[in-house]
Amino acid sequence: MPYPSRPAEAHKALNLLGRFTHPIGVYGQLPPAVNTQVDVFESATAHRLRVLHFLDEKFGLDSSTNPAVLRAAPSTPAAAAAAAAAANDAAAAKPLYIQLEEMLQEGGLMLPLAAAATATEQQRREIAERDAMSHFALRIAFSKDRDKQRWLILQESRLFMYRFDRLCAFRGFEDGSQTLISSFLQQEGINYTCVSRPRDPIAGSAAEKLWRTATSFLRGNIAQQIQHLYLVPCFPDAGQLLRNRRVYIQNMMAYVPDYELGTVICGKLRAIMNASFELLEGRQLTLQNTVFSDSRVGKLLSAAPNVYLGRDFSNNAVKSTEERLTPQLIKQGAGMTLEENLQFNRQIWREPQKFDRE
């Protein structure tokens, strides 16, 4: 399906793919014009939705976007017992972040780690296109209802924060001395001045005084771990950090520690998505007449906000997607006709012919 965009516009996510396994960005612009098969569009969209439902399930009652949730061990005896009971399932026994990355790889939404360095430009382009295509498709699908919009923004924020956390752990040069953060900021057109920790601080020097002032209010050993400060405009970029008093301010610029940079950029993603939804809300009639009524993708996009692709809690069992989505459950899909459910779930079935037999 073609995207309305300038043909000369380069796909920015390719700048990091190959050095980094995930396509990552704030989706501030439509992807370049591409043509793809309908089944590829459906598969990418359904897989991304499955990933977002996985994040929603694993974060549970935790309303944060902190990627540490995906690395943490069960925090209560009950949670530990549940994890032990599920250990018979090979997938459930894996750490959550491993499960997440396997799902992303299965859906073609990231490069396998072993193949990242040797991936061809065509392979990198396909990953970037599937990622952007699925993100913008879900924006349209979730544009009708504000509660659904908030859900999508939260899950996309969690996915971004996980990817950004992984980006911070990667190194962009052979000596491993620098991260890929500067490359990412350049890719997104974000111009934040970076102030590095003084290597040989001279007592009383301007650089040493500034660094000490900007980090001294931080608790514990955090100040000793910071290597970079980013000068970020107080409003709107650093607004959330200012409200929580987590940054030093001078001349209307916030000195953001490197570990808080993800929060700032994630705020940009949320702002972009909110502005996009505001625009789409005013164009629902056009969308209904052009996109949702399209026989190729309309049923999929209409069904996406109402389908659940997470854990089946009946009988305390964890079932695979293929085992869970039986015709009986499909008939009970909230807000969808049987035909819409069948169309949607056929796309996420690993073996469509097996779905038809069921």
Domain boundaries, the chain: 38-304, 319-348
pLDDT value for 321: 41
Find out whether 166 and 157 touch, Cβ atoms under 8 Å.
Answer: no
Q: How far is CA 316 from the centre of its chain?
A: 28
pLDDT value for 331: 37
pLDDT value for 16: 83
pLDDT value for 201: 67
Find out whether 161 and 70 touch, Cβ atoms under 8 Å.
Answer: no
Strands (E), the chain: 193-196, 228-233, 248-250, 253-257
Which pair of tokens denotes residue 131? Answer: 């990622």
CA dist 354 and 326 (Å) reads 11
Residue 155 CB contacts under 8 Å (≥ 6 apart), including other chains: 52, 53, 55, 56
CA distances from 96 to 47, 111, 163 (A): 17, 18, 14
What class has domain 38-304? mainly alpha
* Residues of the chain falling short of pLDDT 50: 1-10, 75-76, 78, 87-88, 172-177, 315-334
Which pairs with CB-CB distance under 8 Å and at least 24 residues apart come from 124-128?
124/14, 124/17, 124/18, 125/11, 125/14, 127/17, 127/23, 128/11, 128/13, 128/14, 128/17, 128/23, 128/31
Q: What is the pTM of this model?
A: 0.81
CA dist 157 and 272 (Å) reads 11
CA dist 58 and 73 (Å) reads 12
Task: Write the pLDDT tens digit of every residue in 16-70.
Answer: 887 899 999 999 988 777 788 999 999 999 999 999 999 999 999 999 999 999 9
List, edge to edge, every strand of the sheet that includes 248-250.
193-196, 228-233, 253-257, 248-250
